[in-house]
Structure formats: C-alpha cells, structure tokens
C-alpha cells in the first residue's frame, strides 16, 4: 500500500477493483464503512456480487480479465472531461507532479497505429521481446522546441474545442498526455462496453463518480488484490490504476493511493526481505550473470539510476532520485552478511542468477522439479507452502513432485504437498521421494515482526509454547546453517578443494540456537562499523562503533556501516530521551547503548494534524516511519495541503508538520533552484509516471485477452500479451498445461477465496469451527446458467478445464449473472481453491483447473480468467 489501512477512512470515494475486501480483508471494511458513513461512495467492480458488493453503493459487474479496457475507458473519460471541465481537476498536480508534460522519443508507435497490430514499437519477434528505445524520453538536448513543455500551453489542452488532434494547439504530438489521449481515445464507452460486458450507462455513472475525486482537495483510493494481479497482464492492470490516480491527483494524499491488499499475513514482510527471485533485501536488484555484474563496481553502476532532470519550464526542479543511494545500501548489506570480508570479495559470494533462459518463479520451479535429474531440481525444502494445491495446474504439479529425491517440509500441519505420495488414486510404492516433516511453531508460538499491507512492522510476542517438538522456522534456519557450515568446515579441514567454502564460512551467523528475532531486527537496521560515521541528526558528531544507525541516510558506502535491509534502517535505534521516558519498558541495551525496537511501540494516540489517522507511535513503518509515501504530492508548490481537512503534511513557514516528509527540503516555491524537490523521489525523474519505460509489455496498458478467452481481442489483432509467460509443465513427456478452447469450454471461470478459509485451507480446514462454517468445496454459478444446465443449489457438479476436473457443491446464486460481451451472452462461474486431500474436511482444489501461464513481468499465474465447462455430476 502506498497508504495504510486506517487511511482508507479519509477517502471521498473508494474504488475496490480486483478485490473482495469484505471477505478477504474483513477488518479493513471498518475503515471503508467509516468513509462511507461520512459520505464517501464505495464502488465495487467485480465479476461476482460478493459481500463487498453488498456494502457498496455501486456494483459494476465486469468480465474477468478486462480491467485494462475498463480503466482505459476511465482514462479517456477523464482526459476528455479535463478538457471540458478543467475546473474539476487539480491540473497543477498533473502538470508539476507527473510526466504528463514530458516528450517521448519521436519513433514511438502505439498499438492502434497503422501497421502496429496491437503492439507498441518495436517488437523483436526473433527474441520475443520489446526493444524499448522508443519508449524513452526524447533527449532534451536534441529536441529543441519539443522540450518546451506543456506548462506554457496547458490552455491548448483545456480550450480545445473539438476532439480532433489538429485542435490541440501547441501540444507536442509526443508529449505523454497527448500519447495517452491518442491511445485511449480508442477506449470509448461503446468499445469498452463490448469488451467488459458493462452497459454504457453504468460506465458513464462509475467514471463520473470516480472522476469527482480529481477535484483539488478530494481523494479517491483504489483497493486491489489478486483479482487484479493474477493475469498475464497483471502489472499493466496496476499501471492503469496508477495512471488514473495520477491524473486525479490521488497519489500521496490522505484517503488516496494505489493500495495492494496483501494476500497473506506478512507477505509484505516477505517481499521486503526479498523472498522473491528478482531482488535482494530492500528491493535492490538481483545479481545476474550479465557482464556488468561481474564486479561490485559494475553491478552498482548498472543498477544505480541516473537522475532524469526535467526539461523545459520545469528545469530547476530536483528529481531527488533516491535510488542514487543504491551503493550505500548494497555496501551496507554486504557488510551485514560478511562484515570481515572486503566488499569486492564478498560481492563475489553473491549468487549470480542467469539473466535469460531460466524462470526462477513458482511455475519455473515446478517445471524444473518435473524435469527431474541433474538438470532439474532434486530436493525441495518447503517452508509453509503448498504447491500441490496452491499453485496452478495442480494435477501436473503433484505429478511433478514424484521426481524429487527428497522433500523437507517445515509446517504446522501435513498439507497436500507433504502427502502427495499417498494422495488418492496414487500407489505410494511407485514414488521414491523421501519426505521429512519438521514440526514448526505457529505464529502465536514465536516472537518476531509481521509487516502488514500498510508497511507497518509490528512486533509480536510469543503467547504460548509450541506443542511437542515444534520450534520456530527461524530456529530451524539458524541450526540448519550451523550444520551446513560444519560440513564445509570439515571438508576444508579434510583438504577438499571441490567446494567454495568462503561464502559459507565467512557469513556472519553468531546466533544462539533459539529466540534471536530481536538480534536479527538489529542486524536489519544496521550499525556503525567505524568511528567516522557522521550523525545527520546531530551535525558534527559521530556514531560510536556498534551503535545502531538512526536512519538510512546515515548509511555509508565503502564498508563503514552495515544494514541487512536499508528500508528497515531506523526501526531499531539508539533510544532518544523522549523514548527512554515514554517507552521505558521497551528499552534494550545494545553495545552499552540504550536502544529501542520501535516495532514494539503501541501508542494509540494519533498525534497527526487534524487526526488523519497516522498513529506514528503505533509500531514503526518503512520507510523512516513515513505512513503515506509520496506525501509531498499532498501539498502544493508552497507546501500547503491540497486538502486542508485531511492534511498529511503542511509547511508551517519553517518546517514540515504531519507525516515524515518524503525527500526533505523546503517546498518547491520556497527552495533554491536545484533543491526544488519533486514528490516522487523513487522515480529517477521525480514525478509520477503516467508513461513508463521499464516494463516488458508496454509503456502504458493495452487491452489483451486472457490466455483462455471466450472471444478474439476486440481492440486489435494481438490476442494475448506478447510478453506473457506460457508455461510448459512437462512430466515424463506429458504437458499438463494444455489450452482449452471456447468450443469445448464455453464458461468463463475465475478463482477466489472466502472468509472462512485461508489459502489452501490447511490452517483453517483443520480448525473445527471454521471447517463447520465452510465444509465443502463449492462452485458458485448464476441461477440463469444453472437453469440451462438443470442444476439446483446443493447438487454435486463437475467442473472441467483442459487441465483437469473437479467435483464441487453447486451454489446457485443471483450474485452471478450472464453478461453480454460483444453482443453474445456469456456466463462466469466462481471457484475457490481452499480444499485438498489433506486436513479435516477434504475436497478438490480449484487450482486443478487453472493454467500455468503468467504475467509478462512478474510471472504470477493467470488464475483469475480461464475457461471451463460445468455439468451435473
């Protein structure tokens, strides 16, 4: 979340799209309803009327997988309305805080342009990827005249009488705003309606309602979850939300933001700590085998962006370009891991992922397991995961597991993955995989931090002892590594030279065998390694060696500081006098210095101006306890809040009050040239990107169809996202990832979760009270479809896709209804995936049906849109 849960209450309009917040994030509905009680409209866009829709003021039924058409239509509606009713929008925000006025390379071609057939320029069909050169900004030096920006000619936009491009005044043809308009003018309501199945009058109503948040001082929030992300063009869905939020001035403000409702507890923490294949902790880019990454210096120069200084009238503004600090963060990370090794050497300890040819994400991993043998994956240590039910194409995934020589599972229950070898219809004697289960402590049986969607790092204490031999995962990990290190040590002592022992032997791992969460929190924060690290909070003074660093700006390059995760730098610091007084019980003495782990703070006083709900002393949040990121966009050029009623931040004449200001410095109009800090400090241009250039599948979102779709793309001839990942789940020559056609599988399917169960259901199907509430695998289908198929509620039905078949209880409901897509009546059904063959109540998993295809950028599987057939069993 760019904002946080409580902040939802400040919204003037809540757009919930691709999320069933009421069922999957029930607590947040407290804040949604608080906003609604104060007059905010709640809009729910979803294929299915759910408990969220029941609380919404407006429910929009959409065909699954058509968010880009819907949002593209909204972008067009807004751009047109901006022209007709400029007074309804915060145009200064759009001009100053986004790249609307930037000029793009003159070679840019859009998917609707002649000869492009749905692709941006320039698609490299040999390598199946884009050459993105034409997506970049025109070089200001070489674009005389072009870089004279919109700021002069904004009137050319707003006074435009007609729709034609010729009536655009002096607007440059390649300025971002005009490119947006040119692409999305194809997304008129008639076309969007045909694609999405939403009637035009509803589109008009919802666009008009949400666009009201474009007014200065109004805020709209977009809440999304897996309904937006489990698509082959998932990131582009989110990009579409972001573009709308930037056009409406909704980023950085209270009650605004693009807010990802995370799918599981602490998944925010898991990405912050880089439990992903493409990053190191703190979102530093992963090291790969490309030439540039062969040395530390090369890697750093490769991943540290240069600032993009704004051209034309905006010159003098400072993009801040926070990632310029990358070297400090990388060096401090290496020092946290290998404190006694020279940086250039410890950098070489880092594994270098193959840049091309290998997919390291979930689907790629399962495919590699299916391959078996030395080219594949032979052993699997699985921590609290369940790919036999939680990932796509489950039958194939289960079959693939037999290729493993061994599996070690750390979990609190047996799940489908651990018991795959004795699953129904399988002869255990045909499976050679050796499976070990290490009983793990549950979340209330251990201590540590949990990071929520709003980036709050909240400390949890152990409530009860774990049962039997169960121990926390962290203890397992600590002990495991000690044993691995001993093996290496033994081999070295025995004179073996076939191993590279240094990364293992030199790693900082001086833990006791248990309960080290607090120590690790200190390592994540980092400390001074030398006596010459200046303290920015007390100019002229220096950190003591071993003293925890106050915040990440004080981290140093060249090995003077350590920090296991720069984003967490500031969480665990030397206690201030105020902290020592107010939080005496939280003070821990670290290296002789009274220190405080701020994740433990539990102060319920909201000290923010106008009580906008920042609660700065309840836990701690990254970055730097900043509760709303990009908060400089919440104020105008003089530092006055756009929304005086809900100020996140305000300049009081001498200082900022409110949230921790993003980027520091004075307001733009009160700062010297070169220090006029722009708000979007993590972007190299310092402004919000309406137009991007770093994704694999386009600079702006364009409509493509899901891999399995009932129709041909109505927008262009390009059916699917050209860069989407199409899996090949081969096990012993069988490809489990087969593609169905609308002829054989005429019904659109989507998957989801219910309140009563959690993920694959292992934590909830084993709890009698929850199992009782939702005992059986079910499929929800509309009464209109059920009538046609002769199905009544309570029947057992078969649902088939090209990849498998499941049995489920039919829930016939008015909440699903036929939609009209391109003039044809179509039906959608909903399938949860909480069941399996392990646990107290059993059933088929919805993931038996889902395809192994993934998003072009992240490779998240497309579980939310595929084709199926439903029959009475």
Partner 1 sequence: MAYGVLFDGTRCIGCRACSVACKSWNENSAKVEKKTSVEGGIQGKAVVSSDTFTFMRYREIGEGDDFKWAFAKIQCMHCLKPGCETACIVGALHRNKETGAVTYDQGKCIGCRYCMVACPFGIPTYQWEDRTPWIRKCTFCSDRLNEAENGMAPACVTACPTRALQFGERDELIEEAHKRIEESKAADPAGVGKYIDHVYGEKEVGGTAWMYISSVDMTELDLPWLSEEPVTKNARTAMSLLPYYATGMLALMVGIYFITKRRQKIAAGKHEEKKG
Shortest Å, Cβ 56 to partner 1: 11
Of 225, 228, 770, 870, the residue at the interface with partner 1 (CB under 8 A) is: 770
Say how many residues touch partner 1, by CB under 8 A: 38
CA–CA gap between residue 803 and residue 849 (Å, rounded): 6
Shortest Å, Cβ 209 to partner 1: 15
Of 80, 520, 775, 818, the residue at the interface with partner 1 (CB under 8 A) is: 775
Shortest Å, Cβ 751 to partner 1: 17
Shortest Å, Cβ 133 to partner 1: 49
Residue 38 or 482 with smaller CB distance to partner 1: 38
Shortest Å, Cβ 366 to partner 1: 31
Closest CA to 658 of 686, 599, 596, 616: 616
254 binds partner 1 (CB under 8 A): no
CA–CA gap between residue 660 and residue 750 (Å, rounded): 41
Q: How far is CA 449 from CA 111, 465, 519, in A?
A: 46, 17, 12
809 binds partner 1 (CB under 8 A): yes
Residue 39 or 351 with smaller CB distance to partner 1: 39
Q: Judge contact between 185 and 76, C-beta under 8 A.
A: yes
Of 509, 794, 824, 871, the residue at the interface with partner 1 (CB under 8 A) is: 794
- The 8-class DSSP code of residue 175 comes to B
CA–CA gap between residue 800 and residue 749 (Å, rounded): 10
* Ranges within 25-84 binding partner 1 (CB under 8 A): 26-27, 29-30, 33, 39, 49, 51-55
CA–CA gap between residue 503 and residue 350 (Å, rounded): 8
Bridge-partner residues for 649, per DSSP? 658
Q: How far is CA 16 from CA 50, 59, 431, 752, in A?
A: 12, 10, 46, 15
Phi, psi values for residue 628, rounded to 5°: -125, 115
Shortest Å, Cβ 753 to partner 1: 13
- The vertex-831 CA angle with 830 and 832, nearest 5°, equals 125
CA quadruple 507, 512, 513, 518: dihedral positive or negative?
negative
DSSP SS3 for 523: helix
Residue 537 or 794 with smaller CB distance to partner 1: 794
* Ranges within 307-336 binding partner 1 (CB under 8 A): none
815 binds partner 1 (CB under 8 A): yes
265 binds partner 1 (CB under 8 A): no
Considering just the CA atoms, what is the radius of gyration of the chain in Å? 27
CA quadruple 624, 625, 628, 634: dihedral positive or negative?
negative
780 binds partner 1 (CB under 8 A): yes
Residue 38 or 354 with smaller CB distance to partner 1: 38
Closest CA to 855 of 723, 739, 735, 738: 723
774 binds partner 1 (CB under 8 A): yes
Residue 51 or 632 with smaller CB distance to partner 1: 51
The structure tokens listed for 573 are: 């610091």
Of 271, 675, 793, 858, the residue at the interface with partner 1 (CB under 8 A) is: 793
520 binds partner 1 (CB under 8 A): no
Instruction: Catalogue the long-range contacts made by 526-529 (C-beta closer than 8 Å, 24 or more residues apart).
Output: 526/332, 526/336, 526/555, 526/561, 526/562, 526/563, 526/564, 526/566, 526/569, 527/561, 527/562, 527/591, 528/560, 528/561, 529/335, 529/339, 529/559, 529/560, 529/561, 529/562
Shortest Å, Cβ 439 to partner 1: 24
In 85-240, beta strands by DSSP E: 123-124, 129-130, 220-224
Residue 739 or 776 with smaller CB distance to partner 1: 776
Residue 28 or 369 with smaller CB distance to partner 1: 28
Residue 170 or 645 with smaller CB distance to partner 1: 645
Of 771, 799, 821, 829, the residue at the interface with partner 1 (CB under 8 A) is: 771
Q: Judge contact between 91 and 249, C-beta under 8 A.
A: no
Residue 337 or 413 with smaller CB distance to partner 1: 413
Shortest Å, Cβ 420 to partner 1: 25
Of 456, 583, 680, 778, the residue at the interface with partner 1 (CB under 8 A) is: 778
813 binds partner 1 (CB under 8 A): yes
Residue 600 or 753 with smaller CB distance to partner 1: 753
CA–CA gap between residue 366 and residue 354 (Å, rounded): 17
Question: Interface with partner 1 by CB under 8 A: which range of 333-341, 382-390, 695-703, 813-821?
Answer: 813-821
Question: Interface with partner 1 by CB under 8 A: which range of 24-32, 114-122, 406-414, 722-730?
Answer: 24-32
Helix ranges, 734-836 (H): 768-773, 783-789
Q: Judge contact between 722 and 705, C-beta under 8 A.
A: no
Q: What is the full DSSP assignment across 642-703?
A: S-SSS-SEEE-SSSEEESPPSS-S--GGGS-TT-EE-S-TTSTTSSB-SS--SSSS-SS---
727 to 766: interface string for partner 1, x by CB under 8 A: ----------------------------xx----------
814 binds partner 1 (CB under 8 A): yes
812 binds partner 1 (CB under 8 A): yes
Block residue for tokens 């909480």: 834
Of 517, 621, 635, 841, the residue at the interface with partner 1 (CB under 8 A) is: 841
Closest CA to 830 of 856, 811, 844, 805: 811
Residue 57 or 532 with smaller CB distance to partner 1: 57
Residue 588 or 813 with smaller CB distance to partner 1: 813
Shortest Å, Cβ 240 to partner 1: 26
Reported as half-sphere exposure (CB side, CA atoms, 13 A), residue 847 has a value of 29
Shortest Å, Cβ 52 to partner 1: 8
Of 379, 428, 674, 768, the residue at the interface with partner 1 (CB under 8 A) is: 768
Residue 90 exposed, middle or buried by CB count within 10 Å (0-12, 13-18, 19+): buried
Residue 446 or 815 with smaller CB distance to partner 1: 815
Shortest Å, Cβ 57 to partner 1: 9
Of 811, 829, 831, 859, the residue at the interface with partner 1 (CB under 8 A) is: 811
- Catalog residues that contact partner 1 under the rule CB under 8 A: 22-23, 26-27, 29-30, 33, 39, 49, 51-55, 755-756, 768-776, 778, 780, 793-794, 809-815, 840-841
């Amino acid at each position: 979340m760019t904002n946080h849960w409580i902040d939802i209450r400040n919204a003037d309009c809540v757009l919930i799209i691709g999320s069933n917040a009421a069922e999957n994030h029930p607590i947040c509905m407290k804040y949604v309803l608080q906003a609604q009680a104060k007059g905010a409209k709640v809009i729910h866009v979803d294929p299915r009327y759910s408990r969220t829709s029941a609380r919404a003021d407006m429910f929009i039924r959409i065909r699954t997988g058509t968010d880009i058409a819907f949002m593209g239509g909204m972008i067009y509606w807004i751009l047109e309305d901006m022209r007709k009713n400029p007074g309804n929008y915060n145009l200064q925000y759009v001009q100053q805080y986004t790249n609307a006025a930037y000029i793009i390379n003159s070679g840019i071609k859009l998917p609707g342009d002649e000869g492009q057939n749905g692709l941006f320029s320039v698609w490299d069909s040999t390598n199946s990827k884009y050459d993105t050169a034409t997506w970049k900004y025109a070089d200001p030096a070489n674009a005389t005249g072009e870089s004279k920006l919109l700021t002069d000619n904004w009137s050319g936009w707003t006074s435009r009488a007609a729709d034609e491009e010729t009536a655009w005044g002096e607007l440059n043809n390649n300025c971002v705003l005009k490119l947006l308009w040119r692409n999305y003018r194809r997304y008129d309501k008639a076309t969007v309606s045909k694609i999405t199945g939403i009637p035009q009058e509803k589109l008009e109503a919802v666009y008009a309602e949400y666009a009201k948040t474009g007014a200065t001082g109004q805020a709209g929030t977009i809440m999304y979850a897996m309904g937006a992300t489990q698509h082959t063009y998932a990131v582009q869905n989110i990009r579409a939300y972001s573009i709308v939020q930037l056009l409406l001035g909704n980023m950085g403000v209270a009650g605004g933001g693009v807010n990802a409702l995370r799918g599981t507890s602490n998944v925010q923490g898991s990405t912050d700590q880089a439990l992903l294949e493409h990053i190191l902790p703190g979102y530093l880019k992963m090291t790969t085998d490309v030439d540039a990454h062969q040395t530390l210096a090369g890697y750093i120069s490769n991943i540290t962006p240069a600032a993009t200084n704004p051209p034309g009238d905006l010159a003098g503004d400072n993009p801040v370009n926070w990632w310029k600090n990358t070297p400090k963060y990388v060096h401090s990370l290496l020092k946290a891991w290998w404190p006694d090794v020279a940086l250039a050497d410890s950098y070489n300890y880092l594994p270098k992922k193959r840049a091309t040819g290998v997919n390291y994400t979930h689907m790629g991993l399962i495919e590699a397991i299916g391959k078996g043998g030395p080219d594949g994956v032979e052993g699997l240590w699985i921590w609290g995961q369940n790919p036999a039910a939680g990932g796509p194409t489950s039958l194939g995934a289960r079959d693939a597991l037999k290729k493993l020589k061994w599996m070690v599972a750390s979990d609190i229950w047996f799940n489908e993955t651990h018991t795959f070898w004795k699953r129904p219809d399988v002869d255990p004697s045909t499976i050679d995989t050796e499976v070990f289960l290490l009983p793990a402590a549950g979340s209330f049986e251990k201590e540590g931090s949990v990071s929520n969607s709003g980036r709050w790092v909240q400390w949890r204490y152990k409530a009860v002892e774990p049962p039997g031999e169960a121990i926390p995962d962290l203890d397992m990990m600590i002990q495991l590594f000690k044993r691995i290190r001993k093996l290496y040590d033994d081999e070295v002592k025995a004179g073996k030279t076939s191993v590279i022992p240094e990364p293992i032997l030199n790693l900082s791992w001086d833990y006791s065998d248990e309960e080290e969460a607090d120590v690790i929190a200190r390592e994540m924060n980092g400390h001074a390694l030398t006596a010459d690290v200046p303290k920015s909070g007390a100019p002229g003074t220096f950190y003591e060696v071993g003293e925890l660093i106050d915040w990440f700006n004080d981290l140093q390059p060249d090995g003077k500081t350590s920090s296991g995760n720069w984003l967490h730098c500031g969480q665990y610091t030397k206690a201030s006098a105020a902290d020592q007084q107010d939080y005496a019980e939280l003070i821990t003495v670290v290296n002789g210095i009274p220190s405080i782990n701020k994740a433990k703070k539990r102060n319920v006083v909201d000290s923010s101006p106008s009580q906008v709900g920042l609660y700065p002393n309840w836990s701690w949040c990254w970055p730097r306890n900043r509760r709303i990121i990009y908060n400089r966009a919440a104020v105008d050029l003089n530092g006055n809040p756009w929304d005086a009623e809900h100020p996140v931040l305000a300049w009081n004449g001498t200082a900022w009050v409110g949230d921790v200001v993003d980027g520091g410095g004075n307001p733009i109009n009160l700062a010297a040239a070169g220090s006029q800090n722009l708000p979007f400090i993590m972007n190299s241009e310092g402004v919000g990107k309406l137009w991007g250039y770093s994704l694999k599948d386009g600079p702006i979102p364009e409509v493509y169809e899901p891999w399995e779709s009932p129709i041909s793309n109505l927008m262009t001839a390009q059916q699917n996202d050209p860069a989407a990942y199409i899996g090949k789940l081969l096990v012993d020559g069988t490809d489990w990832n087969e593609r169905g056609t609308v002829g054989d599988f005429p019904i659109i399917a989507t998957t989801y979760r219910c309140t009563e169960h959690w993920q694959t259901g292992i934590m909830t199907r084993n709890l009698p009270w929850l199992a009782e509430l939702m005992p059986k695998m079910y499929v929800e289908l509309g009464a209109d479809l059920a009538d046609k198929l002769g199905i009544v509620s309570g029947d057992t039905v078969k649902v088939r896709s090209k990849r498998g078949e499941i049995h489920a209880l039919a829930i016939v409901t008015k909440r699903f209804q036929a939609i009209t897509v391109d003039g044809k009546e179509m039906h959608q059904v909903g399938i949860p995936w909480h069941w399996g063959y392990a646990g107290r109540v059993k059933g088929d998993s919805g993931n038996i049906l889902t395809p192994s295809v993934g998003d072009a950028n992240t490779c998240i599987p497309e579980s939310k849109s595929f084709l199926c057939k439903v029959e009475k069993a």
